[in-house]
Structure formats: structure tokens, C-alpha cells
A and B are shown apart, each in its own frame.
Chain A
Amino acid sequence: MTATNALEKVLTQEQEVLAEWVQQQLAANTLRSDLMKESELRAQSREFLSLFRTAFATGSAFSINSSDWAPVCEFLSSVSRSRVLQGFTSSETATFVLSLKRTLFEPLRRELEHDPAAFAQALWNLTTLLDQLGLYTTEVYQKSREAVISRQQQELMELSTPVVQLWEGILALPLIGTLDSARTQVVMESLLQAIVRTGAGLAIIDITGVPTVDTLVAQHLLKTVAAARLMGADCIISGIRPQIAQTIVHLGVDLSAVVTKATLADAFILALRRTNSSLVAPGTTNAPKG
């Protein structure tokens, strides 16, 4: 009996193999019974074993990239993705696949007891296949994680650039965090869209939350100011900390084209004045200071 035939024959005893495999998984110390119920583990094992057997019967190649193995790979993709959400680590998910090796070792040995060469060959084939499938689950796992991270990054970028309307015709843009070129794009788009939506003529860009201002950040700020100006809105930059003021001068950044204020409060008073409004304390008839 050849190595391939032996493996095929072992796989036909699906029920026994499945029972043995599930039992071994339940007994293993890597079992995560807190994350997955036994019935689900059983169902996943049964599905995988059945697909594995079908693919092995049709395909003579021992590479999982051929179309014969596509259903198996698809199933493993969905298993890997659902396990990510359940909280499994990538090695735990790969172990699910690799543990089948141990289960099939004993029946194969019995089948090829008198043919050590064929036994070695069968073992090698089995190992190659299951290793590839195990690595495949790890790859899918990593890709899912990367997708989650990039989606969160996107959300973070959108969340951290709100544009608020302080007053009629006055917008405020509190920037939190570093200002790189990707964020600047988002900031510019949000600001310009807000200008169109509210018809505002003034925007206060507050950089209290920007930790460092270097020449690149200053360039991004100036670009944003220029873009707003093209849309007919003037900008005031506020929230300049003392340290930042020193850095700006030492770097030789030219902010002469923009009005800058130390605090948002000062910027707001200036903006009110520009739009011919002012705040009056109740009960007074005098013009307010400032």
C-alpha cells in the first residue's frame, strides 16, 4: 500500500478519527474552554476533517494553493476570523489545525506497520499539508488584526478632528495630537466643509493639544490657513504655549501672515470684534474692555 492510499484509507474512518481528535483537543492543556464551547469545537473539527478528507481525495498535489484545497482554505479563513473575535491567539488557532497530526499518526502507523519507508512518506505528506494549513490560519489571523488596526486608525483620525461652531460665523478647530500630512488632509477637508456648511467667515485653530510644533507642522498649519482663505474665511491660530513660541522663533518659522493668540479666549474676543459683535455683562451700559 502506498503512502497516499494509506492516508486516504485512514481518513475514510472519519467518525473514529473525529472522536479521537476532539477527545485529544479537550484533554490538551492548550484548550480554551472559556472562549469556545465543546459543541462548537466539535462542529469546527467535524467540518474541517470532512473538507480535508474531500480535498485530499481529489487532489494529488500537496500544495494548498491549488483549487482543490480552496474549500478547506475558505473554511479555515472563517474559523481564523471568528477566533480572532473570540479572543484566541494566533498560535492557539494554528494548534487547532496542527493537532490533527497527532491524531492521524497512530492509525497511519498501524496501516503501514510493515513498510517503514511508506510510513515515513505518508507522515511527511501529512506534515507538509497540515503545516501549510496551520501557517495559512496564522496569516489570515494577522491580516484580520491588521484590518482592525487600520480601521481603528481611520476612526481615530476622524474622531480627533472635530470642527465646532463657537458663534454665528465663527468656527473653532481644536487640534489634539501630532499633525502629520495625513491628518492635515483630514483637518483641511473637515474645516473647508464646515466653512461651506455654516458660511463662517472666521476659523480659530487651537493648537493647545499639539505637543510639538516643528517646521513641518508649521507648514501644515499654514497650508490649512491658506486653504481656508481661498474659501473666504480668515484664520486665527490660538493656544500657543510659551515653549512653542520659543521653538517657532528658533526655527525661523514665519507666521507673520497669520494672526496668533495665546489663548482661545483671546482669539474668541478678537473674532467677535471682527464680526462686529461683543459680549456685554448684564446690567451694564458701558462698552466692554478688550
Chain B
Amino acid sequence: MEKIPILKMGRFLLVTIQVDMHDQLALQLQDDLTARIVHDRAQGVLIDISSLEVVDSFIGRMISNIAAMARVLDAQTVVVGMQPAVAITLVELGLSLDGVRTALNVDKGMALLREQVAESGRL
């Protein structure tokens, strides 16, 4: 069964979504990610979707859920690498992903995460 790899970068976790997500994979990701956040005491999660050319409402909802779960575990989430066409589609679908911070690329995403973590006062 395929799994989406989760990489550790310092205090943060990096998830790169490269394949089409289906229910099973999404649930697996949620399980793995929440487990890793607790296990590694991660302060932030960076979700990279630069490989996704098509994002539907399912993935949109999944990203929102992951961000919410991470927040409950006191970790910030930033989504990076959204392609212009994807952004337009999400807006047209009415999914503006409120509550999910976004950045243009991994560099900016990391900077944003560090900022947010500093703001939230975690050591």
C-alpha cells in the first residue's frame, strides 16, 4: 500500500503530495501525520502541493482537516507551492481554505512557520 512520506526538518515536518489522493491514502496520511507530530513534538507542518495540477473539493477539505488537527496538537500548518490554476479553481469552488496559511514556496513557507511558531510562544 502506498504511503505519503513525511520528512522531518528540524522542528518541522515536510509532506509532499505528488500522487492523486483517494480516501484510503488521505486517511492514512492523517493517521501518520498526527502520530508523527506527537512523536517528534513537531511545531509545524509544511504541506507541499506543487506537484498537484488538479485539486478538487476533497483534497481541499482534507488539507483543512489536517491543518485543524495539527492546530489541536499545537502545530502550525502552512501549504506551499499552489499552482495558479489550482488557486483559481479553489476560489471558483468557493473553498478559500480559511485558517490555512499559504506561501509561494518552501523557503517562504519555512520562514512563515518560524514566524508563527515564535508568535505562538513555543520554545
Interface residues of chain A, those whose CB is within 8 Å of chain B, are 185, 188-189, 192-193, 195-196, 199, 201, 223, 226-233
Q: List 12 A-B contacts (CB under 8 A).
A: A185-B88, A188-B91, A192-B88, A195-B84, A227-B87, A230-B82, A230-B97, A231-B82, A231-B84, A232-B82, A232-B102, A232-B109
Please determine whether A230 and B104 come into contact, CB atoms closer than 8 angstroms: no
**For residues 99 through 120 of chain B, which have their beta carbon under 8 Å from a beta carbon of chain A?**
102-105, 108-109, 112
B residues near A231, Cβ cutoff 8 Å: 82, 84, 87, 102, 104
Tell yes or no: B80 within 8 A of A by CB.
Answer: yes
Please determine whether A230 and B108 come into contact, CB atoms closer than 8 angstroms: no
How far, in angstroms, from A232 to B112 measured CA to CA in the complex?
10
Contact of B102 among A189, A196, A199, A229 (CB under 8 A): A229
Please determine whether A232 and B88 come into contact, CB atoms closer than 8 angstroms: no
How far, in angstroms, from A189 to B92 measured CA to CA in the complex?
13
Please determine whether A227 and B104 come into contact, CB atoms closer than 8 angstroms: no
Please determine whether B87 and A192 come into contact, CB atoms closer than 8 angstroms: yes
Please determine whether B104 and A226 come into contact, CB atoms closer than 8 angstroms: no
Please determine whether B96 and A230 come into contact, CB atoms closer than 8 angstroms: yes
B residues near A226, Cβ cutoff 8 Å: 91, 96
A residues near B88, Cβ cutoff 8 Å: 185, 188-189, 192, 227
How far, in angstroms, from A227 to B96 measured CA to CA in the complex?
8
How far, in angstroms, from A226 to B102 measured CA to CA in the complex?
11
Closest chain-B Cβ to A71's Cβ sits at a distance in Å of: 45
B residues near A196, Cβ cutoff 8 Å: 83-84, 104
B residues near A189, Cβ cutoff 8 Å: 84, 88
Please determine whether A201 and B82 come into contact, CB atoms closer than 8 angstroms: no
- Tally of B interface residues using CB under 8 Å: 19
Contact with A along B72-89 (1 / 0, CB 8 A): 000000001011101110
Task: Using CB atoms, name the residue of chain A closest to B84.
Answer: A192
**Among A201, A227, A228, A232: residue with most chain B CB under 10 A:** A232
How far, in angstroms, from A193 to B103 measured CA to CA in the complex?
14
Closest chain-B Cβ to A250's Cβ sits at a distance in Å of: 25
Task: Using CB atoms, name the residue of chain A closest to B55.
Answer: A230
Please determine whether A230 and B102 come into contact, CB atoms closer than 8 angstroms: yes
Please determine whether B104 and A233 come into contact, CB atoms closer than 8 angstroms: yes
How far, in angstroms, from A237 to B33 measured CA to CA in the complex?
38
Closest chain-A Cβ to B1's Cβ sits at a distance in Å of: 31
B residues near A230, Cβ cutoff 8 Å: 82, 86-87, 90-91, 96-97, 102
Task: Using CB atoms, name the residue of chain A closest to B78.
Answer: A232
How far, in angstroms, from A229 to B105 measured CA to CA in the complex?
13
A-B contacts besides A188-B84, A199-B108, A227-B91, 5 pairs, CB < 8 Å: A188-B91, A189-B88, A196-B83, A229-B96, A232-B103
Task: Using CB atoms, name the residue of chain B closest to A193.
Answer: B84
Closest chain-A Cβ to B14's Cβ sits at a distance in Å of: 16
B residues near A233, Cβ cutoff 8 Å: 104
How far, in angstroms, from A142 to B108 measured CA to CA in the complex?
53
**Among B80, B88, B103, B105: residue with most chain A CB under 10 A:** B88
Task: Using CB atoms, name the residue of chain B closest to A190.
Answer: B84
Closest chain-B Cβ to A113's Cβ sits at a distance in Å of: 74
Closest chain-B Cβ to A231's Cβ sits at a distance in Å of: 5
Contact with A along B22-44 (1 / 0, CB 8 A): 00000000000000000000000
How far, in angstroms, from A226 to B80 measured CA to CA in the complex?
15
How far, in angstroms, from A230 to B80 measured CA to CA in the complex?
9
Closest chain-A Cβ to B40's Cβ sits at a distance in Å of: 25
Task: Using CB atoms, name the residue of chain A closest to B96.
Answer: A226
Closest chain-B Cβ to A197's Cβ sits at a distance in Å of: 10
How far, in angstroms, from A232 to B108 measured CA to CA in the complex?
9
How far, in angstroms, from A229 to B8 measured CA to CA in the complex?
27
Closest chain-B Cβ to A184's Cβ sits at a distance in Å of: 10
A residues near B92, Cβ cutoff 8 Å: 223
How far, in angstroms, from A185 to B91 measured CA to CA in the complex?
11
